[in-house]
Amino acid sequence: MPKTTQYASRESDEKGHIAWSQEENQIWSELYARQIPLVKERACDEYIDGLNLLNLSENSIPQLPDINKVLKEKTGWQTAEVPALIPFGEFFRLLANKQFPVATFIRSREEFDYLQEPDIFHEVFGHCPLLTNPAFAHFTHTYGKLGLAASKEDRIYLARLYWFTVEFGLVKAKDELKIYGGGILSSPGETIYALDSDVPVRKPLSALDALRTPYRIDIMQPLYYILPEFDHLFELAEMDIMALVAKAKSLGLFEPLFEPKEKKAG
């Protein structure tokens, strides 16, 4: 996640509603229309089930209280309205309390295809459908509790596990590869690339390997890890993840599968 942002989150009224502009709603509508046909073919069934439960509007940005009603009933989760960027500690605190942070801004047309900050389309369309699923909700809650108690150094390792599961995870479903990572599902280009391209490496998920794998946020991913089945997230949540973090630290990181990011001239 970048350290600075050009975006400012919108504030809700006393009912939790945000008065989105016509242009903001139009951007949501165009993003939704472009992405829906892709995810219906490529996302895992658990995501599609959640999408149906949330019944997101096609034409306007959903209001978080409407999403909260469904999440509360299904898994006890809620969304939490946050600024465009929040500290790691606050992120873990929210997850540990079954609150999923949603930055209340939507990308500009200049960054329609890709932006580094997670906007409301990424959070609501990419992640919220799976928060209706018990396995995903349990894993995310456990991850939040671990991160809240972890040291600053250990949180960097935990971030890699989150990246390769919640954000950019693939799953085996009936002998097919499907997508469950919200970072993929909210990106038209990566939704196609993740399953169709012969460029990236695709490997069975090992939590230890994921903890040791560097990543970059501003490129198509060179590597995806594959869950053997969706409910494996329950097993992953019950592993001694912090012991695996300690082992990952002793073994060191894998060599990156990408070039270093070019530094801007000062």
Instruction: Collect all residues with Cβ–Cβ distance below 8 Å to 214 and sequence separation of at least 6.
Output: 160, 253, 254, 256, 258
Is 167 marked as a binding-site residue?
yes
Annotated catalytic residue 17: no
CA of 25: how far to CAs of 20, 21, 96, in Å? 6, 6, 31
Is 238 marked as a binding-site residue?
no
From the list 24, 69, 39, the residue with the least C-alpha distance to 178 is: 39
The CB density around residue 232, as the number of other CB atoms within 10 Å, is: 17
Instruction: Collect all residues with Cβ–Cβ distance below 8 Å to 203 and sequence separation of at least 6.
Output: 209, 223, 224, 225, 226
The one catalytic residue in 122, 123, 141, 187 is 122
The one catalytic residue in 24, 123, 186, 187 is 186
Is 232 marked as a binding-site residue?
no
The one catalytic residue in 127, 141, 187, 190 is 127
CA angle 96, 244, 146 (to 5 degrees): 10
**Which tokens go with 52?**
């149906």
The one catalytic residue in 24, 46, 123, 167 is 167
Annotated catalytic residue 138: no
- For residues 196 and 220, the answer to whether their CB atoms sit within 8 Å is no
Helices (H), 150-187: 152-162, 182-185
d(Cα 45, Cα 156) in Å, to the nearest integer? Answer: 31
Residues acting as catalytic residues: 122, 127, 167, 186
Binding residues: 122, 127, 167
Binding residues for Fe cation: 122, 127, 167
